Structure formats: C-alpha cells, structure tokens
Amino acid sequence: MTLGELYQAAISIGMETDPRGRDALQRQMRQLAKQYEQTSESERRLFDTERLTNPFGDSRIAYGDPDTELNRVIIGIDIGRSELLLASELTRRGKAVDAVLAHHASAIAGGVGSVHDTAIPQVAMAVEAGVPEPRVWKLIQDVVGKEDSSWNLRILQVAEALQMPLMCLHSPADACLYELIKNHVALQEPETVGDILALVTALPECEWLIDKVRHTPSIDAGDAKAPVGKTYMCLYGGWNPTPALFEELCKAGVGTFIVVASTDEFRELANKYGASIVVIPHYPADNAGFNIMLDRMMPDGDEFEIVETSNYMRCRRPL
C-alpha cells in the first residue's frame, strides 16, 4: 500500500460513514468547484483545492510523495516534533519508517483545511436530534467563524527537513467512531445511563486505558439508574457543541449525551434539564475510530508494520 492509497481509502471510508451521507458531501464539493471557477487568479492562491475532491478539512497528506510505499508507519493521536525525530532515529537504527500518521490535525500546518468542513456536520446531527435547522445553523457560525486553518509551520518544517512523509486523518476516523457507538446503542438498546457506561467501558480501547492508568469512562452528570431517553453523541464534527447549542439539544429532549470531554457549563445545563452525560476518555475514543478505519482499509490484515506512539494502540476487530 502507498501513502496515497491509504489517504484515498480513508476519504472513501469517511464519505461512506459520515452521518450527512455521501450525496451531501458530493454536493458540497460541487458547490466549492463552482466557487473556485468564479475566483480570480490571485484569489486562487488562497483556495484549498484539496477541498474539491476531499470534503474533510482535517485530513491531508501534509508532506510527502503519495507514491511512497508503506512498510513501517508511526501512528499517534497527537503527532509533534518528537514523533518525527523518533521516526528518524528508528530509521537510523535500521528500522526504516516510511511515514508518520497523525489523528489530530490542529498542530500541523495545512492539516485543517477548513473549520467549516469539520464543524458543519453538527448541523445535521442536531437537526436529527430535534433542533430546528435555522437555529443550529446560527449557533454553528460561532465556531465556523474562527481561524480557518492551522498556520503553525514548526511540525511541518521538521517533516520536510527529515524528508519524512506526514499525514493526518481526523474526520474519517471520527465518523467510524460515531457509527460504532450509534450501532452499539441501537443493537443493545441500553435502558439506563449505567447501561451506556457499561457499553462504552467494554470497548477494548477503554479496557487498555484501564489496564495502563486505571482511568475509565465515567458519568459526568446524571445518575447510573436514570433512563437513557434520546441520545446525542458528540463524537463527530471536530468540536463539542457550544453551551448554547448544548442547551438547545436539552430543550429538544436529549436525555443522554455521549462525549469525549465535558465542561462545567455542560454539567450545569445537564443538571438544569435533567439530562445525563457519559464521558468516553478522549484517547480511547479516538483509538476506536482510527482502528475501525484501518480495519476497513485492510480487511485481510495490516499491510504494514505499525509503531504505536502518542496514546495510540492498534486493536483489530472482526468485520
């Protein structure tokens, strides 16, 4: 498998699992193509043309030749300069690393092509939960209007200096996590918040964290005996809802939120509306989505050796 093949497989899997559906993503890219055609030559320098074929602003080959053959790859949730130096040192010791693969893209220049691409999925998710679309759209603009891409070049410059291919894959993996938990909830039909907690604790990635550091999923608001009600999974879209959107979701009747990070504001709002919050620790959650994405790319077994770093652990599941 080459770096480019891995990249294209991830984009395809992301489009298949995205809760908005493939048609909506293709429509988004067609609209961008029309926009691109109408821009001037000077404006095109500022246009991320990768968005014409890849709807995920946080998934990119940041540096490297797409034709690079992959035999050994470093994978980590948060990749920084130290992981790139590790790749160089392993190569020096005779264990050549062909590429470094990150999950989070926020620290890699060019890795976040558009906040719009990563935050806008929350519109469809919140509408499905019962919040009126115009209201969600307005609230999402508070996120979309922020800095549109990462411009910090430090990590990218290290990759270039070491001539080490570097790629980040975020939304496609998170879409796999979202689908996993949604399917588990639908199949197991948990009745109480405690049942939800048991469901996510049984994930092998969560068991790994328990064994390593005795840290486990938890209930941040509500009671284990409380009924689940309508669930909302804050596991996709690159951002947690804003407090205002969280409150709208409570008003729409969400009974249980499944998140990777909670806040004091979320806890207060959940208590105010009688909702519950179940927290899956962030790294196990990211691991689960990333692992499922890799399983789908390579159903017959991993096609390259994986060096686990930066809170990543490889775990295969039967498809």
Say what percent of the chain tops pLDDT 90: 83
The verdict on 103 and 203 lying in the same domain is no
Whichever domain contains 250, its CATH number is: 3.40.1390
Q: Tell whether 188 is covered by a domain.
A: yes
Best CA proximity match to 165, nearest among 155, 151, 174, 153: 155
The verdict on 196 and 280 lying in the same domain is yes
Query: Tokens for 274?
Result: 């009688």
The verdict on 137 and 223 lying in the same domain is no
Res 300: pLDDT:
95
The verdict on 58 and 201 lying in the same domain is no
Res 150: pLDDT:
61
Domain count, the chain: 2
Low-confidence ranges of the chain (pLDDT < 70): 109-114, 145-150
The verdict on 117 and 242 lying in the same domain is no
Q: Tell whether 313 is covered by a domain.
A: no
Domain enclosing residue 126, as ranges? 3-170+286-308
Q: Tell whether 191 is covered by a domain.
A: yes
Res 89: pLDDT:
98
The set of residues, in sequence order, having a beta carbon less than 8 Å from that of 288 and lying 6+ positions away, is: 176, 177, 180, 203, 205, 315
The verdict on 194 and 53 lying in the same domain is no
Res 112: pLDDT:
58
Q: Tell whether 236 is covered by a domain.
A: yes
Res 172: pLDDT:
96
The verdict on 97 and 138 lying in the same domain is yes
Best CA proximity match to 219, nearest among 286, 275, 175: 275
Q: Tell whether 245 is covered by a domain.
A: yes
Host H or E run for residue 73: strand 72-76
Res 148: pLDDT:
53
Res 136: pLDDT:
93
The verdict on 63 and 91 lying in the same domain is yes
The verdict on 264 and 294 lying in the same domain is no
The verdict on 140 and 86 lying in the same domain is yes
Q: Which amino acid is at 299?
A: P
pLDDT by residue (tens digit) across 261-287? 999 999 999 999 999 999 999 999 999
Res 239: pLDDT:
78
The set of residues, in sequence order, having a beta carbon less than 8 Å from that of 297 and lying 6+ positions away, is: 1, 6, 9, 10, 13
d(CA 107, CA 119): 17
pLDDT by residue (tens digit) across 149-167? 567 789 999 999 999 999 9
